[in-house]
Structure 1
């Protein structure tokens, strides 16, 4: 199994989801499309890590709602306890920053402004998700203890908030550097 497979299993520990819902849910965590996810679902179902219930629909094709099995939960448990690989960093902005000297000053600034706006919008979204996670925690009578099923989601959301805050701070700093002509472009 690959990392994406484990990610899908992880999402299924919270709720049973359709393939489409899994694809949407994984977007903030991992870049993957339908063409990657659906074959993995078939493979994991064949291995007994997930099961599905077919839901008949009159106006659309039937959909499958996937649920993690005990075997899938055990597989995920074993994987969670193994060391994580070093992070893979893929951000197009990094190459653009490296070549920023080729950009007109106003376009260089616009690039950073757009990234900061995106990060602020993500910050808002993640903060809403944290509130929803806290409400779910209260609803289940859980605290933020290590054993709470919502604790890992809370940690991940907090990490994403910190990442976005850091990115906004970087963009604001870099814009300041451009505006002060600390690095002449052109």
Structure 2
């Protein structure tokens, strides 16, 4: 199964949804359209991870309401426990956070700590690249203007630095939330 499949399962853990509702619900988390989602729903149903109920409508075509099965919850729970891939446009951490209730607090914290360690390493790497880029700008006599050949790279590097800082801040905050919501060991 691909990450989008797990994301659809994650959305179905909250409540049964139609294909249209799944498509709308996935938009803030992942870029996917009907042409990707409906074949995945059919495949996941064939594997026993979801089932559907057909609702007859008199003025429109019948609609299907999808529900996650126990087998679907089990496969999603196994997936949530795996480390998330580094952040990309399609960041699977979004779906893992959505499904966090399927794991233990220590596993949830470890998931966030691994992401935070990666972000710190990337932040260091991007800061070094920015320094090298600024030296190149000075060497060429270019300025940080739209027409400078390295300006776009400079902006993208700054964007990545900002994203890494924000992600680190989020991970620290989320770990604090987990610690406040978890009973002390004992």
Using structure 1 for the length normalisation, give the TM-score: 0.50
Using structure 2 for the length normalisation, give the TM-score: 0.50
